Amino acid sequence: MLSFIRKRLAWKLTFGYLLVCSAVLIVVAPLIVRLLGITLLPPVGTGLAVILVLLAGLIFSLRVTRPLRRITDAARKFSGGDFDARVRPRGEDEVAELARAFNQMADQLNEKIRQVETGRNQIQGILEGMIEGVVVIGPSEELLLINSAAREILSIEHPVKPGSLLCEVTRAPEIQDLIRAVSETGRPQLKELTVYAPVERILRAQAAPYAAESGPGVLLVMHEITDIKRLEQLRREFVANVSHELKTPLAAIRGSVETLLDGALQDPAHNRTFVKAIAEESVRLDRLVDDLLTLAQIESRQELVRHEPILIQTFLDQELQRYLAVAQRAQVTLEWSVNPTSLSFLADRRQLAQAIGNLTDNAIKYNHPEGTVRVQAFRQGTEICFRVDDSGIGIPEVDLPRIFERFYRVDKDRSRETGGTGLGLAIVKHVAESHGGSVQVISRPGSGSCFILRFPSAS
Question: Mean pLDDT score of the chain, rounded to an integer?
Answer: 79
Per-residue model confidence as pLDDT tens digits over 13-70: 555 545 555 555 555 555 544 554 555 445 554 555 555 555 555 555 555 566 767 7
Cis peptide before 396 (omega within 30 of 0): no
Chain centre distance of CA 145:
18
Per-residue model confidence as pLDDT tens digits over 299-327: 666 566 788 999 999 999 999 998 998 89
Residue spans of the domains in the chain: they are: 2-115, 132-224, 229-300, 308-456
Q: Please say if the pLDDT value at position 126 is more than 90.
A: no
Under CATH, which number does the domain 308-456 receive? Answer: 3.30.565.10
3-state secondary structure of 102: helix
Q: Residue-wise over 233-265: b if at least 16 C-beta within 10 A, else e?
A: eeeeeeeebeeebeeebeebbeebbebbeeebe
Question: Which tops the pLDDT comparison, 247 or 301?
Answer: 247
**In terms of pTM, does the model score above 0.75?**
no
**Is the separation of the CB atoms in 305 and 430 below 8 Å?**
no
What value does the CA radius of gyration of the chain take, rounded to a whole number of Å?
Answer: 46
Per-residue model confidence as pLDDT tens digits over 374-400: 999 999 999 999 999 999 989 988 888
Specify burial of residue 350 (Cβ count, 10 A radius: 0-12, 13-18, 19+): middle
Q: Report the CATH fold assignment for 132-224.
A: Beta-Lactamase (3.30.450)
| Separation between Cα atoms, residue 397 and residue 45, nearest integer Å | 119
Q: Please say if the pLDDT value at position 244 is more than 80.
A: no
Per-residue model confidence as pLDDT tens digits over 277-307: 888 788 878 877 777 777 777 666 656 678 8
| Separation between Cα atoms, residue 146 and residue 129, nearest integer Å | 12
Q: Which CATH architecture does the domain made up of 229-300 adopt?
A: Orthogonal Bundle (1.10)
Average pLDDT over residues 3-7: 48
pLDDT band at residue 1, thresholds of 50, 70 and 90? very low
H or E element, residue 113:
helix 94-129
pLDDT band at residue 100, thresholds of 50, 70 and 90? confident
Residue-level pLDDT at 155: 79
Question: Which tops the pLDDT comparison, 434 or 11?
Answer: 434
Q: Which amino acid, 215?
A: G
**Is the separation of the CB atoms in 376 and 387 below 8 Å?**
yes
